[in-house]
Amino acid sequence: MNRIQRYLFSSVLRAAITIIGGLSLLALLAQGLSQTDLIVDNRQSALTYLKVVALGAPQIVAILGPLALFVAALNALNRSHRDNEIVVSHSAGMTRWQVLSPMLRLATLVAIIHLCVNLFVQPMAQREMRVTIADARADLAASLIRPGAFSYPTDGLTIYAREVAGGELSGMLISDSRKEAETVDYIAETGYIVEVEGEAAIRLINGEIQQLDAQGQLSILNFDDYIFELTGFLGEDSDLVLKPSDRFLSELFFPDMGDYYQNKDKDKSLAEAHGRLSSPILNFAMIVIAVIAVIGGDFSRRGYARRVVFASTGAIVLIMVTLTVQPAAADDPSLNFLQYLVPILTTAVLMFIFLSGSSVTRLFRKKRNTETALSMGAG
């Protein structure tokens, strides 16, 4: 690259880093608001909350990367064109390809990073995030039992503890009224959260069981040590079930047919795999749209607001189309080729228009002149 090409490359790169960082912070803030239940409901530390929010960053960056690249290229090129730097470059003999070349190199760099995030960083981060959330919500002492407050894990079950100190629960009361007209109350001096054969349970020490049968007879049974199993009260935690977005590429293309969830989502997994491979191509289309918006038309001292609006609309429509194709491919695997065709065809057509020396405004102008001539001839 010559000096002006290096200048264009570095200016767009700086703008891309800044815009990707800003958009990612906004997206992380929005995601963080959705995860406040980790602190409010599960009483987790701020460190756990920040960890979960940070682990969601790779997926957000992968989604926003092409859009941020478009905005960065549009901003940097528009500034250079407004300062007549592009005009001087053309006057010095630079061709359209020489101006487009550093932009495509930047798009290649961003696409490679995007692909690495899709294939390796995102699934690792998503898996760790799900494990962290599952561990936080599996903290029974924090989520189910709160000192001095009644909690209701499910219909028919009430748990109360007067004090919670470390892992020891003082003044325990458990009321089980799942069966109609048959309520069982467990009262104990102390209790502990334990695991019995991998299942959550509460160990009650020094207490009694009060049971009221269907005839209204009360029976009382004293005990020194009793295990109250929580299996069946706690719902199955979906956070531990890996979704297609959490799996590596090999798992998406070759799912374990013995796994119920993988077998159930095999078409969705296939669409996710092709989406991860094809989405980096979108960066090339975004960069070419930005270049055409600024350099693809005639020079104007009044600016290029109309072209920028058209280009921005086209970029948003293209992103919406690509986001629509993947769910459609999940329903019909034969549509997976569209995930590659849409960005590749868009890039090829736009590059042909730009490198051929045509401009959108000139095409419209030719059409308008033709219509005018026809109308005059008819008159």
> Which residues, 6+ apart, have CB-to-CB distance to 148 below 8 Å?
161, 162, 163
By DSSP bridging, strand 182-196 and strand 150-154 are: unpaired
- 371 falls in which pLDDT band (50, 70, 90)? very low
pLDDT of residue 28: 73
In three-state form (DSSP H/G/I as H, E/B as E, the rest C), the secondary structure along 91-153 is HCCCCHHHHHHHHHHHHHHHHHHHHHHHHHHHHHHHHHHHHHHHHHHCCHHHHCCEECEEEEE
Best-predicted range by mean pLDDT among 17-21, 228-232, 245-249? Answer: 245-249
228 in helix, strand or coil? strand
- 314 falls in which pLDDT band (50, 70, 90)? very high
pLDDT tens digits along 254-301: 988 777 777 888 999 999 999 999 999 999 999 999 999 888 766 555
Cβ contact 224:101 at 8 Å: no
- Element at 168 (helix H, strand E): strand 168-179
CA dihedral 26, 29, 34, 37 (to 10 degrees): 180
Q: Which backbone phi and psi does 232 adopt, to 5 degrees?
A: 100, -25
Best-predicted range by mean pLDDT among 71-75, 98-102, 205-209, 303-307? Answer: 205-209
By DSSP bridging, strand 218-229 and strand 182-196 are: unpaired
Angstrom distance (rounded) from CA 37 to CA 365? 57
Least confident span in 22-36, 230-244, 336-350: 230-244
The candidate with the shortest Cα–Cα distance to 162, out of 154, 153, 151, 170, is 170
Angle between helices 96-116 and 338-355 (to 10 degrees): 160
**How many CA atoms, within 13 angstroms, populate the side-chain half-sphere of residue 249?**
13
Angstrom distance (rounded) from CA 181 to CA 213? 7
**Residue type present at position 165:** A
Least confident span in 94-103, 148-157, 287-296: 148-157
β-pair partners for 308: none
The candidate with the shortest Cα–Cα distance to 355, out of 291, 287, 290, is 291
Cβ contact 134:48 at 8 Å: no
Least confident span in 225-234, 257-266, 354-363: 354-363
DSSP structure class, residue 360: H
β-pair partners for 204: 191, 226
Q: In the predicted model, is pLDDT for residue 366 greater than 60?
A: no
Best-predicted range by mean pLDDT among 27-31, 60-64, 68-72? Answer: 68-72
- Element at 188 (helix H, strand E): strand 182-196
171 in helix, strand or coil? strand
Cβ contact 228:218 at 8 Å: no
Dig out the tokens for 229 from the structure. 């199993």
Q: In the predicted model, is pLDDT for residue 374 greater than 70?
A: no
β-pair partners for 49: none
pLDDT tens digits along 2-17: 888 888 889 889 988 8
The conformational region for residue 220 under phi > 0 = left, psi -120 to 50 = alpha, else beta, is beta
**Residue type present at position 124:** M
> Which residues, 6+ apart, have CB-to-CB distance to 334 below 8 Å?
none
270 in helix, strand or coil? helix
pLDDT tens digits along 178-187: 776 678 999 9
DSSP structure class, residue 180: T
Q: Where are the alpha helices (DSSP H) in 201-336?
A: 249-253, 260-264, 266-278, 282-295, 305-331
Cβ contact 103:73 at 8 Å: yes
Angstrom distance (rounded) from CA 287 to CA 333? 29
pLDDT of residue 378: 43
pLDDT of residue 299: 57
